[in-house]
Structure 1
Amino acid sequence: MHLILIGLRGSGKTTAGRAAADLLSRPFIDLDDVTQAVCGMTAKTCFETAGETAWRAAESTALERTLASTAPSVIALGGGTPTAPGATERLETERDAGRARIILLRAPTNDLVARIADDSGRPALTALDPLDEMTAMEKARGPMLARLATATIDTSDRSIEQVAEAVVGQLASD
């Protein structure tokens, strides 16, 4: 069974995902890396040159390939992956068939903004300032992410190790 981490940018999907994969001795897959390989460029370059639609199409392809061809893994999705064409439906299918646990990582909006403040590789999604953009993303994506999740983990005031242990604990819960 895959452990699939979802959440807004800066929620800790990649960092906690790597740590959880290490604890489980499972492969770790960062879907952003797979998407960049499919797209042939970084997320920032793709957004700037081809637009968000091209990135989301590559993301859909990356998700499909990853879920179809990998052994049970810890998979960190991009913050917007569930908005990619067909992604929500594919994730629901995996979850409902018992092939994946989908874990939503959450943190207060101010924490998310602080975590990504120095990451120049992340493309801006809107023309808004970072706090307003993150607030808008939470409003737009939050309900969809909550519906997809089989569990939610609050990452605020937790170390990476504590978050990773909570992620691993989801394998045992029913």
Structure 2
Amino acid sequence: MSEQHIYLVGPMGVGKTTVGKQLASLLHRPFVDIDAEIESRCGADIQWIFDMEGEKGFRERETKILEDIIFNSSSSVIATGGGVVLSAKNRQVLQANGQVIYLSASKEQLYERMRRDKSRPLLQVEDRQKVINQLLEVRDPLYREVADVVFSAEGGSAARVAKVLLDELSKH
């Protein structure tokens, strides 16, 4: 396996952070969570950034931090935010600078994982299922466009998913 960055893309709640930490451990590489990095650098949580700057402001921060990490860090496993693929620039940067893994899950699985989650700005609505469906409708084609590998995250624990994913990556 080459020493390039590995990016995990996919919808919120699919397990990018949890699986990413496990995968990084198996590969003996650093792990970076873009959302956590945004919060750390901004000194504010994602919800506050959305409230103060809107989604546009958040996406601008996301792009700047993504590029900084890509171009200024050693080969890492990087969990992106669910909306990172909305930017054509981000899609291009991801594809040109590493291997992109689309972690997927069914709409039902995503809803089950996030039905009580209060930390996701885009899900602070009455009908979460509808929002999840709408987000996937827009984002799924973009995840697929950017992905080198599409991989289901529904295969058990994060450790198991990471191990099976590593086996899959070793074939590429």
Aligned to 1:173: 171
User: For 2:74, what is the secondary structure of its paired residue?
Assistant: coil
CA-to-aligned-CA distance 1:66-121 (integer Å, 9 cap, x gap): 10111111100010112246211211221xxxxx1110111111111111223222
Across the two proteins, how many residue pairs are aligned to each other?
169
Q: Provide the aligned C-alpha RMSD in A.
A: 1.7
Q: Is 2:16 the counterpart of 1:18?
A: no
Matched, 1:52 2:55: yes
**Alpha-carbon distance between aligned partners in 2 of 1:2 and 1:118, rounded to the nearest angstrom:** 32
Alignment CA distance shift 1:39-1:53 (3 Å): farther
Matched, 1:91 2:94: yes
Return closer, same or farther for 1:2/1:170 CA change in 2, 3 Å cut-off: farther
Task: Summarize the alignment of residues 132-171 of structure 1 with structure 2, pairs less than 5 Å apart.
Answer: 132-171=130-169
1:36 matched to which residue of 2?
A: 39
Partner-residue secondary structure (3-state), 2:103? strand
Structure 2 Cα separation of the partners of residues 66 and 109 of structure 1:
30
**Structure 1 residue 125, shift from structure 2 partner:** 5.5
Q: Which amino acid is the alignment partner of residue 3 of structure 1?
A: I
CA contact (8 A) 1:153 1:166 kept: no
TM-score calculated relative to the size of structure 1? 0.90
Say if 1:153 and 1:163, in contact at 8 Å, map to a contact too: no
Residue 144 of structure 1 aligns with an amino acid whose one-letter code is: L
**In structure 2, C-alpha distance between the alignment counterparts of 1:91 and 1:126, rounded to whole Å:** 29
Q: Deviations over 1:130-159 (max 9, x none)?
A: 110010011000001001111111112422
Structure 2 contact 118–124 (Cα < 8 Å) conserved: no
CA distance in 2, matches of 1:58, 1:166: 33
For 1:143 and 1:10, how far apart are their aligned partners in 2? 18
Q: Aligned equivalents of 1:3 and 1:163: distance in 2?
A: 15
1:101·1:170 contact (CA, 8 Å) conserved in 2? no
Match of 2:81 in 1: 78
Cα gap change, 1:18/1:87 in structure 2, threshold over 3 Å: closer, same or farther?
same
Question: Aligned equivalents of 1:79 and 1:170: distance in 2?
Answer: 22
- 1:127: Cα distance to partner? 4.8
Q: TM-score, normalised by structure 2?
A: 0.91
**SS where residue 10 of structure 1 aligns?**
coil
Find the aligned partners of 1:117 and 1:127 in 2 and give their Cα distance: 11
Equivalent in the alignment of 1:112: 110
Q: Which has the higher helix share?
A: 2
Output the CA distance in 2 between the equivalents of 1:162 and 1:131: 27
